[in-house]
């Protein structure tokens, strides 16, 4: 049976962020993920994890000014120093939280930067981050994101991401496969996961349209979750969706679609 991790950036938003750990535990989750830890101290977050007997399975590298609309800086040629400083900060948090993997958001291509420049910058930054994280025994992930939700995002398709992985050439760089983003850009979910499973480090889910709970849209999650399980995927699946209503009331999909 798949193992689900609550994404605390999107679930349980009925309460303040630090209270969401207890909400996730009360809902039966054993693991959590979220976008960024950096607004809180490592000690505060580690205490919340321990207090609620939760494992943290993922967070992102620093991604620029999120509130201003930035969605990553890894492809920004003029912010390489900032990116590298962020890698060190992310490693420190990951160690404090016993988090085994970190995701890198490529970012939107800056004005005046060519696609070739953005790609070269991303490849160099991923090489640096993969090496630094490898030395710290942490896996690095990189995630394609659909261009409808984030226009201008550099990395949008699975094939493109795998080409980047090949160019980086690190055994410590993996694909973060978000089912929702992949459905919007390309479909072929079952075969893509099957064909590239050894290179997939983490899976996330949401249905389409609306990015709500599995079972609310067009994706056949009852089949897809069985398929992922049968393939032998043993990682966590992050529940990175926007609840259509109250988070707790919408969690019945886990029983309906996995039994």
**How far is residue 85's CA from residue 229's CA, in Å, rounded to a whole number?**
38
Residue 17, preceding bond cis, omega within 30 degrees?
no
Strands 139-142 and 101-104, how do they pair? parallel
36 touches 63 (CB < 8 A)? yes
Q: List 200's β-bridge partners, or say none.
A: 175
Single out the catalytic residue among 23, 33, 213, 240.
Answer: 240
Taking the C-alpha atoms of residue 196 and residue 144, their distance in angstroms, rounded to an integer, is 14
- Residue 167 annotated in active site: no
Is 240 known to be catalytic?
yes
Q: Which of 33, 143, 167, 218 is catalytic?
A: 143
The residues carrying an active-site annotation are: 143, 240
């Amino acid at each position: 049976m798949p193992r689900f991790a609550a994404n605390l950036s999107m679930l349980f938003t009925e309460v303040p962020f630090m209270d969401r750990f207890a909400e996730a535990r009360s809902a039966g989750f054993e693991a959590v993920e979220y976008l960024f830890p950096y607004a809180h101290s490592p000690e505060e977050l580690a205490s919340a994890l321990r207090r609620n007997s939760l494992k943290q399975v993922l967070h992102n590298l620093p991604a620029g000014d999120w509130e201003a609309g930035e969605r990553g800086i890894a492809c920004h040629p003029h912010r390489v120093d900032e990116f590298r400083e962020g890698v060190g900060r992310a490693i420190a948090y990951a160690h404090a939280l016993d988090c085994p993997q970190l995701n890198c958001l490529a970012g939107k291509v800056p004005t005046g930067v060519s696609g070739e420049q953005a790609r070269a910058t991303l490849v160099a930054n991923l090489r640096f981050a993969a090496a630094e994280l490898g030395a710290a025994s942490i896996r690095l992930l990189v995630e394609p994101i659909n261009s409808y939700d984030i226009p201008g995002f550099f990395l949008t398709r699975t094939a493109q991401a795998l080409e980047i992985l090949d160019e980086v050439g690190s055994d410590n760089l993996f694909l973060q496969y978000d089912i929702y983003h992949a459905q919007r850009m390309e479909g072929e979910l079952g075969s893509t996961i099957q064909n590239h499973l050894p290179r997939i480090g983490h899976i996330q889910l949401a249905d389409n349209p609306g990015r709500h709970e599995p079972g609310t849209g067009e994706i056949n999650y009852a089949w897809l979750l069985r398929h992922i399980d049968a393939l032998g995927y043993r990682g966590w699946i992050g529940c990175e969706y926007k609840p259509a209503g109250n988070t707790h009331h919408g969690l019945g999909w886990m029983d309906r679609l996995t039994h």
